[in-house]
Chain A
Amino acid sequence: LAKTTQPISMDSYEGQEVNITCSHNNIATNDYITWYQQFPSQGPRFIIQGYKTKVTNEVASLFIPADRKSSTLSLPRVSLSDTAVYYCLVSEQNSNYQLIWGAGTKLIIKP
């Protein structure tokens, strides 16, 4: 069973690039990695998903090294509105299908 570990909190400044890393040591070959963003009192919202190497969309990039034991969410040129909690999710695809959520990283962007 995979276990996910994320930093509890991070600070950065407007206009900077922010990288949040999630460790998932026991990830299996077919497991997917997904990141969600959550604002207070709202449901999480999908940001990006990957399986290996690098994925980029209009809001973020996801870097997954070859051993897949970690993944890094990269937010380019953050703004104050990016202040939120970010969760990584490992979706296990084996016979014992499970959803393994990280504890979340509280990102605070300062002006």
Chain B
Amino acid sequence: DSGVTQTPKHLITATGQRVTLRCSPRSGDLSVYWYQQSLDQGLQFLIQYYNGEERAKGNILERFSAQQFPDLHSELNLSPLELGDSALYFCASSVGSGGQETQYFGPGTRLLVL
């Protein structure tokens, strides 16, 4: 158990809908990262927040948005959903914001868009 929690574990929804994925980092961690992993594909880095501020942006689509709240939990919003958004979404956290930080990954949220 990494100490990072993600909810929900599974989500089934339809194209055009909106979903919110939630991540709670490890106690004391200030950075949160979001990743997308499609079936049998590698990790796609989406975005990183550090202490409430955006730190780095990867391949995040304009239909996606994220934020980190004062209590350091983070949410990833996806809208409007498309079939290709079906994937496993991981959240990770680390203490600091630099490249030497070890990222601790949550169990993921599996999203299925029908």
Contact = CB atoms under 8 A, between A and B. Distances in A.
A32 B99 contact: yes
Interface string A75-102: 0000000000001000111000111011
Given A43-B90, A43-B108, A97 B99 contact: yes
B98 A45 contact: no
A99 B32 CA distance: 13
B105 to A, nearest CB: 3
A45 B88 CA distance: 16
A103 interface: yes
Nearest to B57: A98
A103 B42 contact: yes
Contacts of B56: 97-99
B43 A45 contact: no
Interface string A41-64: 111111001010000000000000
A103 B37 CA distance: 11
Interface string A15-54: 0000000000000001110101000011111100101000
A87 B103 CA distance: 13
Contacts of A91: 98-101
A77 B20 CA distance: 43
B13 interface: no
A58 B30 CA distance: 27
B78 interface: no
B46 to A, nearest CB: 10
Contacts of B102: 34, 46, 49
Nearest to A85: B42
A66 to B, nearest CB: 20
A97 B56 CA distance: 6
Interface of B: 2, 4, 33, 42-45, 48, 55-56, 58, 88, 90, 92, 98-108, 110
20 contacts: A31-B99, A32-B99, A41-B88, A42-B105, A43-B4, A44-B103, A45-B2, A46-B104, A49-B100, A51-B100, A87-B43, A91-B98, A97-B56, A98-B56, A99-B58, A101-B42, A101-B45, A102-B42, A103-B42, A104-B43
